[in-house]
Structure formats: C-alpha cells, structure tokens
C-alpha cells in the first residue's frame, strides 16, 4: 500500500461520518462506529437510530474514545508542518467582513466530478457536485433574519465562489427547520435585507431548501443557513451541482472559538483523476472577538492538478481482486472490459417467489452504474428517496424500494423518472395506512402483494398491489424485524435485532419456529450480533448477514449452529455486511457496506472478490455511500440501494 492510500485510509478513520471533520471529541456508539459527540447526540435526539446502520442508538451508551482523540489531534498538528511542502497549490485566503463580525475563510470544499447517469441517459457534459457538512450550535452567531422576529436565531455563513458563469442547483438538508438566504458581495447581520438575492425555494419541507441560481465567477456570494426557531441547533448538508466547481468557504464559526473546516478536499476533474489535499490547518482564535486566520490556506486547484488518464490505468478483473481494503481494490475499467454476454439460466427465486438468474461464476458487471430510482439529493418527491434500505425486483424489472426515512414503499418501473407510492406515504405512524421506518420488502407473487418489514412499528405487514388498496394487514407484531425473506412454500423468515434470531412463520400464522440463532448476542456459531438481511435458497438453507460480527452465516434445516460462508476474523476483511443473494450454483453476493462495495464469494471460497464499488465513498457512478439492499433481475443485472446517496443503482451485466 502506498503512502497516499494509507494516508487516505487513516484520514477516513479519524473523520466523523456526519460532520466530515477530524475528531475533536470522538465517541463510540453501539453500532460500532465513531462519531463526533455533539453531532451524534443531535442525530440520536432527532432520529433515534444510527446514521450508518439504522439500528437504535441511545445517548447514554456513547463511550469516549481517547485513543482516537489523540490520533486526530496528532494528525491535525502534523498538518501544520506539512503546509510548506505545498507552495505550488497555495492560494490566498478569501475573507469577508461586516461591521459586526470579522471571519476568516479556510478554502476547503469537497468537490466531485459527477458524470450523471439517470434512467439510462448520459448527460451531455459532466456535472460537478460540491458538498459541505456543517452545524448550528450554541456557539454559532445569532441574528434577526428576514423572516424572524427575534435576535436569537443561530446562523452559519458560507462564501460561494463559482468557477464558471452558469446556473447551479443549490440544496440544503437539515435535521431541524431552517431558512436559507443568498447575498451578493456582502452580508450584514444588522441589515439582513441589504444585498439579498430573491430566491424561489422549491424545497419539499421546512427541513429542506432547494433553488436554482445563476452564479458569476468574478462575484462573491454569501449563503446564510439559519434556524427557524430560536436557539435551535442543527446538522445540515449543503450540495451545489453545476457545470463546474463552486468553492464553499465557511466564514462563520459554527463550532467553538477554533475555526475548523473539513479535513480533505477531493477534486475530481473531467479527466476523472482524484487528488486529495492535505488536511486543512486548524487556526486557534485569539482572545479577542476578532477571529484571525493565516494569510494563506491550502486547496487543490483543478487547473494545476496533474491527472492520470484512465486510459493508461491498468484494469484488473474483479474476479482476481482480493476483497481487502476498498482503497486497494482495483475494479475493471468499463472501457477495457470485454463485453461478452454470459449465458443466463432462469430459475425460481427463493426470497420473492419471482424469477432470478443463475449467474456464471466469471460474469462481469459494468463498473459505472445507471441510477434507476431516486437521485443524489434526498427528499420526499415522487422522483426522490430518503435513506432507502431494502428492495426487491420482480420479473418485469419493476423495483420496490423500502424508502426508510419517507416511511413508504415506492414502486419504480424501468426507465420511469418518477416512482409510485404503493404502501405508506402518510407520515410516520402505526395506523394500517402508515409505516414507520420500513427496512425491507419482498413480493408474494401468489397474492400479488408486498410483505413489508415495518421496523419502527415492530411488525410485518402484507400490502396488496391491487389498485385502490389504501392500507395493509398486520401479519406479525412485536418483533424488531430487520430483514425478511420468503421461501417457495411462502413461509416468512424474519430476523430480529432484539432477540438475535431468525424465525420462520407459515403465511397467516403468528406461531414461529426459530431456525437460526436464538442463543443471545455473541460470536459463537450459534449466535448473532445484529442479524439483518436474509436469503433462503431452494433447500431452505438460511443465509444471514451478521452485521456486527462482519460475516455471513449459513444455517441448514434443523442445524444447531451455522457455518461462516463469508467474512469473519480472517484475512477476508468484510465490514457490516447488508443485502445478500445466492444463485443456483451456490455463489454468494453480499453488500460490504462498510467498504462501499459488493463482493462475490464462490461456494467454499476462503475469500471474496470485488465486483462493483470499492472506489471509496462518493456519489460518482462507480462509487457507493453506505449501500444497503441487493437484488438481481432475470438478465443478471444487479441493483444496489445506495442509501446515503438516496438512489438505486443498476449495474448491467456484460
């Protein structure tokens, strides 16, 4: 592993997945992930579940991690000494001043060249997405916004500098109700109407803001995000999509008396080269109310970056890629892959009683996916998803997605730009026409209905797909269903994160039989530590993603313990497995969520191979961000729920 890859791995380990910043006060949650304390506390208070795994979290269970804190501090300190090594890319700091505040601006952003693929159509030119995660806290400045009636509203200020004159889509998602405003040249908290640019906000609700705006490259704009309610803290994410880079520069101190910023700048140019800058410098504020910064800051300039052409990159077949770190896995280049169509044998699926393929062991898939449901901007529109989870695909390539945060099941027909809500969609609740955080879904072909894992309501519902159906029927209640499957006899299998077991029920019966686990939480072969997704084959063998144990277990009928068929403690390195599928030859396909990829494990293999993903966290078409559900259609095309990108990705079989 080269030093740059190792540095990127270390940086990801030392960065909070919510704030995208180096840790200052890291804590470990019961989901096994580390977070910045203030960020995860606010998240738990808002959602009650893990942002990475969706399992329930409790603030009282958070544990400080002094070792991570020390490592992050060392990394931050070492960055200062590295600054002199990068004079070739140093640019002046941009500063903004008003009569009440003086802020410094560390030039940082997270820029990605995103060649958009939507419903099978490639855009004519690349689109570049710039993202910035931030937070409103009790240390944020306050003011009386245009739509406010008090001086006690927290706000964050961000300088926007566009690289090209063009229209841009700006969207902000927040954990609390917000207002957003845009200003030309300067922003005066004492006069919030001055220099304000009128906006047409098309956000879906008070937690989201969305607008199109024409930005000029020689002009500075200031974006203000403020809480609608007084003294309200919030976590929020800014996304800007357009034809070129927009630098998002924090010019208000949202955290403490230390001016901080995200620790990396990833710039993907149209040539698809990725260059990561060193960590940005943390500047300590002096004791006065004036926050000062050094005269220069480090950023990666796309114009000065030396890129490696993808045409000269050696492409390795995914069949020979060892399933180790996602940063070291080399995927097959679509431009060099041989487009040989494998022979597909159609068999009867075991989990949904529809047709699914028996896939050749040497099959390959396109490394650049097509988005077939949702987009990169989460929301509750009919063309959007918000943290989707499980899915299933029927014989007509119709996709049914458990739209977790929108509390609904959405049907997407192939090539459609909008989905159809077929279950739930009436807000979170426990009425028969409502769902609360649905986590998985299967199809019962015999009754043309959906079987839904209604996780938040601790129940399993059957919901007819017949036109005019307005509510579901409760099949099972009182279980934390975290995954489900059907076998060919229409038995329902449910995994429980409360009792750490998998139970089989005859359709219509509430008396179940434990078929896997049931011996408490643990590492034993007769135990699980958070069983999630399931697959049942034609012989009623049950495959279980044992998430916290980082393994997939296979349980035969009547077995007292399972066998590890993927992952575990050895060199096989798998992190938080999620969706899974087993074809007729016994080949296992599993979502390796923690490593942002999908693995293939041949029957009896000691290690897997990367077949898609493994290119780091991101929203490009060859990247994933917390993938969840997995399914295949009759042709062998693969469907992956790219949860934190709020979309479903189709990887075509070649």
| Residues 234-245 pLDDT 10s | 888 898 988 887
Helix spans in 48-116 (H): 66-82
Say if residues 300 and 275 touch (Cβ distance below 8 Å). yes
519-529 pLDDT per residue, tens:
988 889 999 98
489-505 pLDDT per residue, tens:
999 999 998 889 999 99
Copy the structure tokens of residue 513.
């039989």
Average pLDDT over residues 141-168: 85
**For residue 473, what is the DSSP state?**
E
3-state secondary structure of 644: helix
Q: What residues contact residue 493 under an 8 Å CB cut-off, 6+ apart?
A: 484, 485, 486, 487, 502, 503, 504, 505, 515, 534, 536, 542
Phi and psi (nearest 5°) for 418? -130, 145
- In this predicted structure, the answer to whether residue 298 has a pLDDT above a threshold of 50 is no
**For residue 38, what is the DSSP state?**
H
Average pLDDT over residues 121-144: 71
Of the listed ranges 49-53, 449-453, 634-638, the least confidently predicted one is: 49-53
* Percent of the chain scoring above 70 in pLDDT: 72
pLDDT at position 76 is 58
* Percent of the chain scoring above 90 in pLDDT: 38
Say if residues 391 and 483 touch (Cβ distance below 8 Å). no
What is the architecture of the domain spanning 77-298?
Sandwich (2.60)
What whole-number distance in Å separates Cα of residue 36 and Cα of residue 40? 6
DSSP output for 320-359: G-BSS-TTT--PPPTTTS--PPPP-EEEE-SSSSSEEEE-
pLDDT at position 19 is 65
How open is the CA angle 141-147-149, to the nearest 5 degrees? 70
pLDDT at position 545 is 96
Say if residues 393 and 633 touch (Cβ distance below 8 Å). yes
Residue ranges of domains in the chain: 3-76, 77-298
Distances (CA, A) of 43 to 27, 49, 50: 13, 8, 8
- In this predicted structure, the answer to whether residue 22 has a pLDDT above a threshold of 50 is yes
Copy the structure tokens of residue 171.
């969207």
Note the pTM of the prediction, 2 decimals.
0.53
3-state secondary structure of 520: coil
Number of H helices, E strands in the chain: 3, 50
Copy the structure tokens of residue 497.
């994160």
Rounded to the nearest integer, the mean pLDDT of the chain is: 75
378-396 pLDDT per residue, tens:
889 999 999 999 999 998 9
Phi and psi (nearest 5°) for 112? -135, 135
What whole-number distance in Å separates Cα of residue 389 and Cα of residue 55? 12
What whole-number distance in Å separates Cα of residue 628 and Cα of residue 53? 9
Q: By CB neighbour count within 10 A (0-12 exposed, 13-18 middle, 19+ buried), where does 511 fall?
A: exposed
Phi and psi (nearest 5°) for 583? -90, 180
Copy the structure tokens of residue 9.
């791995």
Say if residues 153 and 88 touch (Cβ distance below 8 Å). no
- pLDDT category of residue 553 using cuts at 50, 70 and 90: very high
**For residue 553, what is the DSSP state?**
E
pLDDT at position 432 is 96
* Residue 250 falls in which region: left (phi positive, over 0), alpha (psi -120 to 50) or beta: beta
pLDDT at position 621 is 96
- In this predicted structure, the answer to whether residue 584 has a pLDDT above a threshold of 60 is yes
466-484 pLDDT per residue, tens:
988 999 999 999 988 999 9
Query: What's the distance, CA 454 to chain centroid?
Result: 21
- In this predicted structure, the answer to whether residue 155 has a pLDDT above a threshold of 60 is yes
The CATH code of domain 3-76 reads: 3.30.40.10
pLDDT at position 369 is 96
**SS3 of the chain: helix, strand, coil, percent, to 5:** 10, 40, 50
Q: By CB neighbour count within 10 A (0-12 exposed, 13-18 middle, 19+ buried), where does 289 fall?
A: exposed
């Amino acid at each position: 592993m080269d030093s740059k890859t190792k540095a990127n791995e270390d940086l990801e380990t030392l960065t909070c997945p919510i704030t995208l910043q180096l840790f200052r006060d890291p804590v470990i949650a019961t989901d096994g992930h580390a977070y910045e304390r203030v960020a995860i506390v606010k998240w738990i208070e808002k959602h009650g579940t893990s942002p990475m795994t969706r399992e329930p979290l409790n603030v009282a269970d958070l544990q400080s991690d002094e070792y991570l804190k020390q490592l992050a501090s060392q990394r931050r300190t070492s960055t200062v000494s590295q600054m002199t090594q990068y004079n070739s890319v140093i640019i002046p700091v941009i500063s903004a001043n008003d009569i009440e505040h003086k802020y410094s601006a560390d030039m940082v952003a997270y820029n990605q060249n995103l060649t958009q693929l939507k419903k099978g159509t490639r855009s004519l030119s690349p689109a570049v997405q710039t993202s910035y995660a931030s937070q409103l806290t009790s240390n944020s400045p306050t003011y009386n916004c245009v739509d406010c009636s008090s001086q006690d509203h927290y706000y964050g200020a961000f300088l926007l500098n566009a690289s090209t004159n063009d229209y841009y889509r700006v969207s902000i998602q927040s954990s609390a109700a917000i207002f957003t405003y845009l200003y030309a040249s300067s922003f005066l908290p004492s006069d919030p109407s001055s220099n304000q640019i009128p906006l047409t906000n098309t956000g879906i609700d008070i937690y989201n803001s969305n607008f199109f705006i024409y930005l000029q490259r020689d002009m500075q704009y200031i974006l203000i995000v403020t809480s609608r309610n007084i003294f309200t803290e919030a976590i929020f994410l800014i996304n800007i999509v357009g034809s070129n880079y927009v630098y998002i520069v924090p010019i208000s101190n949202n955290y403490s008396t230390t001016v901080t910023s995200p620790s990396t700048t990833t710039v993907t140019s149209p040539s698809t080269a990725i260059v990561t800058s060193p960590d940005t410098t943390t500047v300590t504020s002096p004791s006065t109310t004036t926050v000062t910064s050094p005269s220069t800051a480090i950023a990666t300039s796309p114009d000065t970056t030396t890129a490696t052409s993808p045409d000269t990159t050696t492409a390795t077949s995914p069949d020979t890629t060892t399933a180790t770190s996602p940063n070291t896995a080399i995927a097959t280049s679509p431009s060099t892959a041989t487009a040989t169509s494998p022979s597909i044998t159609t068999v009867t699926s075991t989990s949904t009683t529809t047709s699914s393929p028996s896939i050749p062991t040497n099959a390959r898939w396109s490394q650049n996916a097509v988005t077939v449901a949702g987009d990169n901007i989460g929301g509750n529109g009919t063309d959007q998803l918000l943290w989707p989870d499980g899915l299933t695909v029927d014989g007509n390539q119709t996709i049914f997605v458990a739209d977790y945060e929108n509390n609904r099941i959405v049907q997407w027909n192939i090539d459609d730009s909008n989905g159809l809500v077929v279950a739930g969609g009436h807000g979170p609740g426990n009425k028969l026409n409502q769902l609360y955080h649905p986590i998985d879904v299967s199809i019962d072909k015999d009754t043309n209905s959906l079987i839904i894992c209604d996780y938040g309501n601790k129940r399993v519902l059957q919901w007819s797909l017949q036109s005019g159906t307005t509510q579901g029927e409760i099949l099972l209640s009182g279980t934390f269903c975290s995954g489900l499957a059907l076998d060919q006899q229409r038995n329902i299998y449910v995994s429980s994160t409360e009792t750490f077991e998998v139970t089989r029920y005859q359709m219509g019966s509430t008396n179940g039989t434990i078929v896997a686990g049931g011996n408490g939480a643990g590492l034993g072969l007769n135990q699980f530590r958070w069983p999630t997704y399931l697959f049942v084959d034609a012989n009623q063998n049950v495959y279980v993603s044992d998430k916290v144990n980082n393994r997939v277990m296979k349980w035969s009928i009547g077995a007292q313990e399972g066998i590890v068929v993927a992952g575990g403690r050895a060199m096989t390195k798998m992190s938080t497995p999620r969706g899974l599928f087993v074809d007729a030859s016994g080949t296992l396909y599993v979502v390796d969520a923690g490593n942002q990829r999908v693995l293939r494990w041949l029957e009896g293999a000691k290690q897997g191979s990367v077949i898609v993903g493994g290119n780091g966290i991101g929203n490009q078409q060859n990247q994933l961000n917390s993938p969840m559900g997995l399914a295949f259609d009759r042709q062998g095309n693969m469907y992956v729920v790219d949860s934190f990108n709020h979309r479903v990705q189709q990887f075509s079989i070649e």
